[in-house]
């Protein structure tokens, strides 16, 4: 029974709720439940009035119950503005008719105006300020006039003083109980909305941090209009490209191509996290990562070298459709760069400068299965790693350059 009542209560609250904002949905839900409580309480009062020998009061209640049903139907039909006005105006007129023409101020039924004032603020949206303050003023004015006997118009109450006293106590208690219920409902709906918003913010934050470094994301959320751009004197940049992947993808269906590339790059992402580097982007089957930004660190070249060695090892675990091992070309360079975020759509944290272009050339002019580094990177690594001079090679846009092959760590077997 309790479960059924809870289901009905939930169903009533959801009448007319679709794709509105959280602010609007809360108000629709509260109005639905306030109307349903009003209908139930009004029916109970009908029985009470009949028991006390006041059929006119019961008839007025029955008439206004129909208006509450109209408001509920309007809410269900998504005429929410109409529903709000019908509900609040009907409630005010309802108590006016009972207090002035049938029961008198001694019955205390006009204390329901307290609830109307509260409900007015809870069901109208923030864009309906005139309606909120207009109806609140109406309820306050009617309550004050009835309380001080200013609206009798010569009508005599149809109930005895004893019955009026009982109704007064009943109305006061029920009014406060219903106000408590409605405020609690609104508070719960607000809590749910805030919880949903918090989860959505966490999800958005997580997505943003998957795209941008945390320090850059924080600056972007500050709402600054100027582009984010920082200069770094020493950064190590790595480019990697899976050899023959473009040709291999022609012989595989797209789903398999994407699945394989996702598996490989997911391993690279894990290595990036392990070595505390910054993934910049992927372009097709190329992977770009950097060390020494956005947080400056002295061991940027070593960290990138460690990742490069791990990438070669990881790629070697994958095979082509013919059974051959996948190969990878890696190029590394060290030097100054400018890093930042530009534009207003599809943000990306990117790098610019000759250091980046040279690192890309090291990859494209490299050897499959090997890690090619520039002289600048060699100077950072020569004491801890095995590096083999490849000799000067002609690099597009740069001319002859002395380059080295990173073979492994000193103290370990050199990797071919």
Ordered mean pLDDT values, 10 residues apiece, the chain (416 residues): 76 79 83 90 91 90 94 90 94 91 87 92 90 94 88 68 88 90 86 82 75 74 72 94 78 80 91 92 90 91 95 86 79 93 77 92 91 94 91 86 91 54
Range of the domain at 311: 218-409
Same domain as 131, residue 247: no
Task: Verify that 253 and 359 share a domain, yes or no.
Answer: yes
* DSSP-based three-state secondary structure for 269: helix
pTM (global) more than 0.85: no
Q: What is the pLDDT of residue 271?
A: 95
User: Is 119 inside a domain boundary?
Assistant: yes
- Shared domain check, 259 and 153: no
Mark whether 155 and 282 lie in a shared domain: no
User: Residue 212 domain-assigned?
Assistant: no
Same domain, yes or no, for 280 and 193? no
C-alpha 205/C-alpha 208 separation (Å) is 5
Q: Is residue 253 domain-shared with residue 123, that is, in the same domain?
A: no
Q: Which two tokens stand for residue 282?
A: 């992927």
Total domains in the chain come to 2
Residues 150 and 224 in one domain: no
392 CB burial (10 A radius; 0-12, 13-18, 19+): exposed
pLDDT, residue 62, reads 94
Query: Both tokens of residue 140?
Result: 């306050």
Residue 321 DSSP symbol:
T
- Which residues, at least 6 apart from 222, have a Cβ–Cβ distance to it below 8 Å? none
Q: Distance (Å, rounded) from C-alpha 70 to C-alpha 82?
A: 10
Query: Does residue 180 sit in the same domain as residue 104?
Result: yes
Whole-number pLDDT of residue 196: 80
Spatial CB neighbours of 334, under 8 Å, sequence gap ≥ 6: 234, 235, 236, 237, 300, 301, 355, 374, 376, 377, 379, 380
Angle at alpha carbon of residue 61, lines to 58 and 66, rounded to 5°: 130
| Last residue of one domain, picked from the residues 152, 181, 207 | 207
Q: Is residue 49 part of a domain?
A: yes
Residue 414 lies in a domain: no
Residue 416 inside a domain? The answer is: no
Domain assignment present for 106: yes
User: CATH no. for residue 277?
Assistant: 3.30.70.1230
């Amino acid at each position: 029974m309790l479960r059924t009542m809870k289901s009905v209560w939930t169903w009533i609250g959801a009448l007319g709720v679709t794709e509105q904002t959280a602010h609007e949905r809360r108000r629709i839900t509260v109005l639905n439940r306030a109307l349903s409580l009003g209908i139930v309480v009004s029916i109970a009062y009908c029985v009470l009035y009949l028991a006390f020998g006041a059929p006119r009061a019961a008839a007025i209640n029955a008439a206004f119950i129909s208006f509450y049903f109209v408001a509920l139907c309007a809410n269900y039909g998504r005429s929410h503005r109409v529903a709000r006005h019908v509900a609040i105006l009907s409630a005010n007129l309802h108590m006016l008719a009972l207090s002035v023409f049938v029961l008198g101020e001694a019955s205390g039924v006009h204390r329901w105006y307290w609830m109307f004032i509260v409900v007015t603020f809870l069901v109208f949206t923030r864009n309906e300020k005139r309606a909120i303050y207009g109806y609140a003023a109406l309820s306050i004015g009617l309550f004050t006039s009835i309380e001080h006997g200013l609206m009798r118009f010569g009508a005599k109450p149809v109930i005895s003083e004893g019955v009026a006293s009982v109704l007064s106590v009943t109305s006061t208690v029920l009014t406060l109980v219903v106000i408590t219920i409605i405020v609690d409902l609104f508070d719960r709906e607000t809590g749910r909305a805030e919880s949903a918003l918090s989860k959505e913010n966490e999800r958005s934050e997580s997505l943003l941090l998957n795209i941008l470094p945390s320090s850059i994301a924080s600056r972007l959320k500050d709402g600054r209009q100027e582009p984010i751009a920082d200069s770094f004197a020493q950064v190590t940049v790595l480019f990697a490209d899976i050899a023959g992947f473009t040709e291999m993808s022609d012989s595989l269906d797209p789903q398999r191509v994407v699945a394989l590339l996702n598996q490989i790059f997911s391993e690279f992402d894990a290595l990036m996290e392990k070595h505390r580097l910054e993934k910049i982007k992927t372009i097709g089957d190329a992977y770009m990562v950097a060390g020494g930004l956005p947080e400056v660190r002295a061991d940027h070249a070593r960290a990138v070298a460690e990742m490069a060695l791990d990438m070669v090892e990881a790629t070697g675990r994958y095979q082509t459709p013919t059974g051959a091992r996948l190969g990878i070309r890696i190029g590394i360079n060290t030097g100054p760069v400018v890093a930042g975020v530009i534009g207003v759509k599809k943000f990306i944290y990117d790098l610019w400068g000759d250091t980046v272009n040279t690192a890309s050339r090291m990859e494209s002019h490299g050897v499959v299965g090997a890690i090619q580094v520039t002289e600048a990177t060699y100077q950072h690594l020569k004491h801890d790693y095995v590096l083999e001079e490849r000799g000067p090679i002609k690099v597009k846009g740069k001319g002859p350059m002395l380059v080295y092959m990173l073979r492994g760590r000193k103290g370990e077997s050199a990797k071919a």
